[in-house]
Copies of this chain bind each other. A is one copy, B any other.
């Protein structure tokens, strides 16, 4: 396992890289050293719509990026979706165990193979309140996947993403998310809203009147500047006021 050289390179990426060109060069080098052919380091957003609000570096074929953007795969790519259900890197062959694949997903994956992209390894990168991202390494279609190197790829992906994120933060606007913007009671109501309860039912559970619940829900919506309980739900999940774990536990 050619670890020491790779690790040295990774540390350099993490700490010293100052420009995107620098990072691209380092990524190409690390990718080669790990026995992969491609790398892709990006936020999971629609780049055609938001070209400069996110980070993307890769050495995939041009044609693949075009296809990717045209179909807005930044947000629906099954590799990205799978990276949202784990905290550690995963081999692409495990994706079907991780998420439910739609026919469109299968079509996309097979088209990727047609374009020369084989099996790969993706490291998720999530910072609460920021767009999710990941760093992937892939081999040529038909080429061998260097599975023994996955732990080092994990490390490489971690440091590489953080390096890209550092450049991104320096370059522009950071979306700093505040602390909990809801009162305790508003959060209680939001939690039961998330559990699918109606105002009447929540009133029963909390031991207050239906109007009070409606009022809390209204004001919670007001805090986020939204006008629907579905959006209240999305906002509370987004900023961590609620988590899916909160919602499912009893």
Contacts and interface: CB of A to CB of B under 8 A. Distances in A.
Interface of A: 1, 3-4, 7, 10-11, 14, 44-46, 49-50, 53-54, 72, 74-76, 80-82, 84-89, 98-104, 124-133, 151-152, 154-155, 158-159, 161-162, 165, 174, 177-182, 184, 187, 193-196, 226-231, 233-234, 237-241, 243-250
Given A165-B87, A230-B229, A238 B244 contact: yes
Given A159-B88, A230-B194, A230-B196, A132 B243 contact: yes
Contact of A247 (B84, B158, B228, B234): B234
7 contacts: A1-B7, A75-B249, A131-B245, A131-B248, A154-B158, A233-B233, A238-B244
B86 A249 contact: no
B45 A87 contact: no
Contact of A1 (B4, B44, B81, B89): B4
Contacts of A227: 196
B50 A161 contact: no
A154 B125 CA distance: 13
Contacts of A100: 177-181, 239-241
Nearest to A129: B244
A99 B239 contact: yes
Contacts of A159: 88, 151, 154
Contacts of A238: 244, 248
Nearest to A150: B11
A46 B152 CA distance: 34
A1 B50 CA distance: 43
Contacts of A229: 230
A158 B157 CA distance: 12
